[in-house]
Amino acid sequence: MLHRRLRQRATFKCASVSRIALVVACAIAPGAAIAQEAASDQQPIQLAALPEDGRDVVRVYADRLESEPGSVAIIGRETIEGMRADHPAEVLNTQPGVNVQMNSGQELLVSIRSPVLTGGAGQGSFLFLENGVPIRAPAQGNVNALFEVHHEIADAIEVVRGPGSVRYGSNAVHGLINIIAPEPDPSRGTQLTLSANTLQRYRADLETHFSEAGVDYFSGLSIVDDAGWRSQSGVDMQKLTFRSKWEGATWNVISSLSGINLNQETAGFAPDYRDEDVARDNPNPEAYRDAWAARANVRFERALSDTSTLTITPFAITQRMIFAQHFLPNGGTEKNGHDSLGVLGRYDFGPDNLRVSIGGDAQWSTGFLTEIQEEPFGFFPGDRRFPVGVHYDYDVDTWTFAAFAEANWQFAPDWSLLAGVRAETHTYDYVTNVPAGINGRFNVPPSREDDFNLLTPKVGVVYSGLENVELYANYARGERAPQASDLYRLQNLQTYEPLDVETLDSFEIGFRGDHNWFGYDVAAYAADKDNFFFRDADGLNVPDGQTEHVGVEAALFGEYDSGLYWNATVSWSDQTYAFNRDVGNNSEDIVDGNRIDTAPEWLADLGVGWRNDRFSIFGWGEYVGEYFTDAANENMYEGHTVFHIRGAYEINDTFETFVMVRNITDERYADRADFAFGNERYFPGEPLNATIGVRVRR
């Protein structure tokens, strides 16, 4: 009964302000745009897609320059369609320095030039965007938030490796991922894609572009019915994206509405991934995750002169989630949610040799979190650290205000300097709905307010004087205000003092070029992180860690007139703790210089394919090197290599068939290896499986 009540509360506790905001956001576009026919002089920037996309280009709104210091990759439409990724990790892990671990169902953990991070660190160290707009409020993150974006129908996915805080603010510490939905274009018509998988996974994607009364529209719908290859691990998921585009004499307007619903029966950690029967078993058949989210935004763009453009984007977010904490030995049920309103503003101006952007953001959110333990638990008789009942029940209102300025100055032939700075302030108003104090292992802070101020500079230089080659150097600072769970979900060994702002200083050099049949993008970086807040393998919070990160990344690609093409990425990193911690636990004692757990030294991806006008085939392998699974470097996962192949045949201009075989050698491997509470535990990787499907266009 308690479980049912919790689900009901998560479903129906929705602030009316956010519902109203979503309706208003959709209603005001395009009708609120006030003019008749003239496009802005500042068109969306064109960025080259990945090589597999045959040099196609995608339109990324002028939020990013054509050439700037730093590591940016665009995964294009052809790659996204070809991979037919059922999980965002499949397509994202083709990028150097990126290691997204799949857990159970749609659960995941992210790494971009970092270890794979969990808890508040995983929530707040990476920024997830949809068409340049954040999908969550800064303090209300979730490590699984990538399942809330509609990657299945995306026109492009932008991946920024390294801090992106000047332009985007808190949480873009190690990097960001921007899902770019198709822009309405009636010439693209309608496309239906259906597929079935040997692991009983069925999926349908419907996209349509159309025009009505001078307004262009796009709608995309994705439905997944997945029985789950592990016991009692089925997933039902639906995603919807709707966009409209209107161009007038004064304003150009694009509005977007997206939503997702997830109902998942979750398989917990397995004690072994090598034994197929053990891997397929589910030690936590009671585990589940139910979630929904909806977002709306309207992008207003206006040319104020031949050299200046004003862009204003109001947006609204609402989200609810409830799940069983299968990853903790004491179990428990958590529900959380938040509603948010915000606006992004930017003014771009100046001549071609000195482009300047100034802007500001404002965002308000109200969120809640409740954790309840329904069943008694203890590691030994009389263990009172995990009491039955409510552990946490709090509400948090947050306000964020930011201002930034950035200039791109071509100060000499073939030389450009990009410099910027962002100032940001965060205010939290926290109210606990249960008594403050120690409750077994759990520490409930008293109600209070907290404030955090961020200042993030960036400066970089690009030299393009060599034929078809760019050289660059870049410094950037990433900062994040704490997540609400960092501040108000304490353990019994912690005090109530506010946390410091987490800071990452990153230095990077690189070169990139494209010589007709061969291209490359190579970067080397070094970064130091202070005030690192993370949760150790015993579930205890560490508020003041320090880490060091160095690495080299390379993306290589080539294509020949014969139709043969290939691409490869390789990443080496050395990521270490830079402080000491002695807690009397052999697996969680930290010594300065220890490798950070779940941070493989090597990552690689290699693919080779051939295509003509009708047929394509592509095979690739992904390598994850060995990594430690505990902070003391006493336990290790040996790594893995997994191979896949896919092919497609276009019967005519309207009908295409495709097939994909994943894990063609039926490798036994772990998507995630972990050591916690004294035990090795794993999320096993999928066995050999095949997907067949059809795509119809008209």
| 3-class SS letters over 282-314 | CCCCCCEEEEEEEEEEEEEEEEEECCEEEEEEE
| Cβ proximity of 406 and 166 under 8 Å | yes
Q: How many CB atoms lie within 10 A of CB 479?
A: 25
Mean pLDDT by groups of 10 residues along the chain of 698 residues: 40 40 41 34 32 43 66 91 93 96 95 94 94 95 94 95 88 94 95 97 98 96 97 97 94 96 96 96 95 97 94 98 92 96 96 94 97 92 92 98 96 96 97 95 95 96 93 96 93 80 96 89 97 79 90 95 94 96 78 95 97 95 97 94 97 96 97 91 97 96
CB under 8 Å to 581, separation ≥6 — which residues?
542, 545, 588, 589, 590, 631
Q: Look-up: residue for tokens 């080259």?
A: 48
pLDDT confidence of residue 56: 43
> Which two structure tokens, joined as six digits, stand for 501?
């702002």
Residue 113 to residue 125: CA distance in whole angstroms: 11
Residue 601 to residue 448: CA distance in whole angstroms: 42
| 3-class SS letters over 189-243 | CEEEEEEEECCCEEEEEEEEEEEECCEEEEEEEEEEEECCCCCCCCEEEEEEEEE
Q: Please classify residue 382 by burial: count the beta carbons closer than 10 Å to its beta carbon, then call 0-12 exposed, 13-18 middle and 19+ buried.
A: exposed
| Cβ proximity of 108 and 147 under 8 Å | yes
What's CA 490's distance to the chain center, in Å? 25
In order of 9, 293, 432, 610, 625, the CA distances from 368 in angstroms are 11, 15, 10, 51, 39
Examine residue 30 and say whether the peptide bond preceding it is cis (omega within 30 degrees of 0): yes
> Which two structure tokens, joined as six digits, stand for 541?
């919070």
| Cβ proximity of 163 and 504 under 8 Å | yes
> Residue 695 is which amino acid?
R
DSSP H or E stretch at residue 129? strand 126-130
Is the Cα torsion angle 210, 215, 216, 217 positive or negative in sign?
negative
Residue 291 to residue 147: CA distance in whole angstroms: 10
Residue 297 to residue 254: CA distance in whole angstroms: 8
Tell me the helix, strand and coil percentages in the chain, rounded to 5: 10, 55, 35
Provide long-range contacts, Cβ within 8 A and 24+ apart, for 438-443: 438/492, 439/387, 439/391, 440/384, 440/385, 440/386, 440/387, 440/492, 441/385, 441/386, 441/491, 441/492, 441/539, 442/387, 442/391, 442/392, 442/490, 442/491, 442/492, 443/490, 443/491, 443/492, 443/494
Predicted structure pTM score: 0.91
Q: Look-up: residue for tokens 């990324």?
A: 60
> Which two structure tokens, joined as six digits, stand for 474?
């870049």
| Cβ proximity of 137 and 145 under 8 Å | no
Computed on alpha carbons and rounded to an integer, the radius of gyration of the chain in Å comes to 24
Q: How many CB atoms lie within 10 A of CB 612?
A: 9
| Cβ proximity of 111 and 99 under 8 Å | yes
pLDDT confidence of residue 66: 61
CB under 8 Å to 12, separation ≥6 — which residues?
none
CB under 8 Å to 282, separation ≥6 — which residues?
230, 231, 232, 233, 267, 268
pLDDT confidence of residue 43: 31
Domains, in order of start, for the chain? 2-183+191-697 (2.40.170.20)
DSSP H or E stretch at residue 346? strand 333-349
Phi, psi for residue 558 in degrees, rounded to 5: -155, 155
Task: List the beta bridge partners of residue 324.
Answer: 333
In order of 37, 273, 589, the CA distances from 281 in angstroms are 61, 10, 32
Residue 648 to residue 84: CA distance in whole angstroms: 11
